[in-house]
Each structure stands twice: as structure tokens, then as C-alpha cells.
Chains A and B, each alone.
Chain A
Amino acid sequence: MSVQGPQQVLELAKVSRTFGQGTTAVAALRDVDLTVNAGEFVAVMGPSGSGKSSLLALAGGLDRPTSGSVFVESTPLAGLGLNALARLRRRAVGYVFQDFNLVPTLSAAENVALPLELDGVPARKAHRQAVDALRQVGIPEQAQRFMDEMSGGQQQRVAIARAIVGSRRLILADEPTGALDSTTGHGVMEVLRSRADAGAAVMLVTHEARHAAWADRVVFIRDGRIVDEATAMHNPAVLLAPAG
């Protein structure tokens, strides 16, 4: 049983993930403890192969740990059947994938509305919420477009809109600015930040320091272990004082 405060939206407790077996086994994560609270924006930074994407997949219930436990809003994911897990992912978790994972035969608004409709939200209401999410990412006028009519940057915004639509309490983003120019990347960070400020728990995986800097807490991961953590001081005056 886990001891959780009411604020914890995501908790990883002693989580390890090993791929393969015996002498060829590779430990992607080793004994990782990490929590993300409501209203908190956490960035995970590390080299490729350090385990940061594995961490995100476990947090989103897309993968299961070899040992240890993952809790989303106090619910242990290990105890959920496939249907219950899928429902939790649709309702509580927004996931932005590196490669978008959008449905090409659906319009932007339909892609964004999809998880809501699967969850039984009436079509008209789902559409309204989808357009609102597209507005938050700056492309409400693209609602009726299909994926092959949109640029990579626009598709990424649709993917982010799909992750934030409705009232998702946990937003997980895996290098969401990869396909974007720096101005658009800045816009994505503004959206993630505003979701956190509105009370969501946000976890971002990135190798861009300037994006990680939008987070309240930056966790550094190496070889499957958390090696350090930077928390903003929120006192820039200290930084601006002359040295020595």
C-alpha cells in the first residue's frame, strides 16, 4: 500500500524495467522513485538510451514495470484489467507521442474528439471541446483539415490538443517539440505550462534545456537512474546580483 498525499497525481515507487533475460538483459530503469503533484510541471532530461522514454511509457500505462509500482491518482495500474486501464488512459491521461500517432482519415477536430467520444461524450459536446483544445494550441481554424493537408508542426499541435482535451489530470509528453521550429516549440511549452498552472500534473521528456526550463522541477536520468534534480529557486534577484 502506498502512502499518498491528496495532491499526488503520478507516483512511481521503486520502479525497474528490464528488457530481455539472462546475460542479454538490459536494465532500462532501476529503482526509480518519482512523484508528480497536481499543478506541477516536471521535465525529465537525459541522454538517448538513459531510460526517459521508458519512464514515460510506464507512467502512461503503455508498459508495465518488471518490479515496483505505478500509481495514477492513487490507483495502482498493476491492479487494472485491460479495459479499466484503457478507460483510465482515455479519461485521466493525455499522452503526446514523438511521432504524433494521429488517425489520417479523421479531421483535426475528429482526432482530438476521439478519446472523448470513445468515452461516451455526445458528439456535439466532444466537438466543442476539441475545437476549444485546438484554440489553446493556436490552430482553431484548422479544425476541419485532414492530416495530409497539415504540416508536421500543425500535426504536432493536433496531437497536443488531443492530449489536453477535456479535463486530463496527467499530461505526458515525449519530446513534443521535435518537429517544431523554435517559435512553435515555445508555444507548446506555454500550453503545457498553462495546463500545469490550471492544476494538471505534467511530465515532459526532452533533451532541450530551454524547454525543460519551463518546468518547476527538472529530473536528470542516466543509465536508468535518477542522478540529480533541479528545482527553480524562483528568486531571480540572486542570479542577477554581481558575482563575488
Chain B
Amino acid sequence: MSIRHSLLALLQDQPRYGYQLRVEFEDRTGATWPLNIGQVYTTLDRLERDGLVSNDGGDGEGHVVYSITEAGRAEVQGWFATPVERSNPPRNELAIKLALAVTLPGVDVAAIIQAQRTASMRALQDYTKSRRDTAANQRAADTAWLLVLDSLIFQTEAEIRWLDLCEARMVQLAQASGTRSHPRKPSNGVTAEEAAPLTAENRR
């Protein structure tokens, strides 16, 4: 997440001081990514150093107010216009854990998958309830929060579907190698064709 660009975008709206920026940011993203106030001040210092914001001095109540510069506006415009860069590929602890688990003897991969599926489902239940509650008494400010929740719901659902696929592939692997060590059937929603690329002859 780019704190730098997020703060700049909020300053484009109007001049603000550090604490206001933090409150605005968390309000608009539903406190999904809590900001440390220290991070806010450090980032503002760097933005000022880089000429993207200017320090307007105090507001008389002890707050240092910042406003965006022309260079800062150009930076925000560039940020919005540029697709988010994907770290290549994004580090995914779950994928790494399963990749290691399938290559090590004596690890019960099916149990790992089920434990994760239960945990992910619990998260999905809670996101879904949050979404339902927020949508039921929707205020104007909740539009941004609903979008963030939708994003979390899609990501979690994708994770569960991927776990189903992993499980189906494990079953196929076990069947292809003639063992019955994984008697579980492939999950719904995952066809043999989708699961096929990991069978023995396709792995070369």
C-alpha cells in the first residue's frame, strides 16, 4: 500500500494536518489498514522534502497544516492513471506453505488444506456479515468501505476455490501413482480437466 500517494490524494482535496489525514484515510477505507500516526508524520516530512507538499505552518491550535504543491498534484494524477504494480508474483504464505508441504514426506496436506479452508470460511462469514450490516444502514461514507469489503470477500472466496483445486489435484496425484493414501474425492467446482496439469505425465 502506498501511504505516500494516499496522503497526497487526501491533501489534493484540501489542506490538512497529520491527525486529520489519519482519520480521513481510515474513515474512507473502513479502518482496514490502520495507519500509525508516526508513519503519517514521517511520510509528510519526506513529501515536504521532495517538494510534493508544503508546510503552511500552524493553525493556531498546535497543528501543522500541509497543502499539496503542483508537483504533488502531478504525482497523484500519475498514481491514479497507473495500474497497481504486481509484486512479481506477490508473496503468498499459504501457497508457499502448501508448495513445501506437498514436497515433504510425512506432512498431512489434506489436513492443512481443511484447516485453512475452515479458517478462510470463518473470515468469509465475517466479511459477509459486515457487508450485510453495512449495506443495511448505509451512509454515504460507507460506499468506499463496501468496495473494500467486496474486495476482501472476492479474495477470500478465491482462496477457498484454490484450496478446493489443490485438494482435487492431490487426489488425482494419489490416484495416478496408484496409492490410496488420499481417499478424499475432488471438491465440487473443480473439474478433472482443471486439476489435470499436476498429474504425473503432465508434470514434466
Contacts and interface: CB of A to CB of B under 8 A. Distances in A.
Interface of A: 45-50, 193, 207-210, 212-216, 218, 220, 222-223, 227-236, 239-242
B160 A209 contact: yes
B124 A210 contact: yes
Given A47-B184, A193-B132, A239-B127, A209 B34 contact: no
Contacts of B118: 220, 228-230
Contact of A213 (B32, B34, B119, B121): B121
Nearest to A242: B34
B122 A231 contact: yes
A209 B157 contact: yes
Q: Is the interface of B mostly helix, strand, loop or mixed?
A: helix
B174 to A, nearest CB: 14
Contacts of A229: 118
A178 to B, nearest CB: 11
B110 to A, nearest CB: 9
Interface residues of B, number: 35
Interface string B97-135: 000000000000000001101111111111111101000
Contacts of A232: 122, 125-126, 129
Contacts of A215: 125
B128 A213 contact: yes
A213 B183 CA distance: 27
A212 B122 CA distance: 10
A232 B126 CA distance: 6
A223 B34 CA distance: 43
Contacts of B46: none
B28 interface: no
B31 interface: yes
Contacts of A227: 114
B30 to A, nearest CB: 7
Contacts of A239: 123, 126-127, 152
B80 interface: no
Contacts, number: 89
A47 B190 CA distance: 9
A50 B156 CA distance: 23
Contacts of A223: 183-185
Given A220-B117, A223-B184, A240 B125 contact: no
B38 interface: no
Contacts of B161: 209
Contacts of A207: 187-189
Contacts of B152: 239
A47 B183 CA distance: 12
Nearest to A217: B125
Contacts of A50: 185
Nearest to B29: A240
A244 to B, nearest CB: 11
Residue of B115, B160, B183, B186 with most partner-chain A CB within 10 A: B160
Contact of A47 (B119, B125, B185): B185
B125 A230 contact: yes
Interface string B1-34: 0000000000000000000000000000011111
Nearest to A237: B31
B40 interface: no
A45 B123 CA distance: 16
Given A212-B121, A229-B118, A230-B119, 18 more contacts: A46-B187, A47-B184, A47-B187, A49-B185, A50-B185, A207-B189, A209-B120, A209-B157, A213-B124, A215-B125, A216-B125, A220-B114, A228-B118, A231-B122, A232-B125, A234-B129, A239-B152, A240-B31
B153 interface: yes
Contact of A233 (B117, B122, B186): B122
Nearest to B93: A243
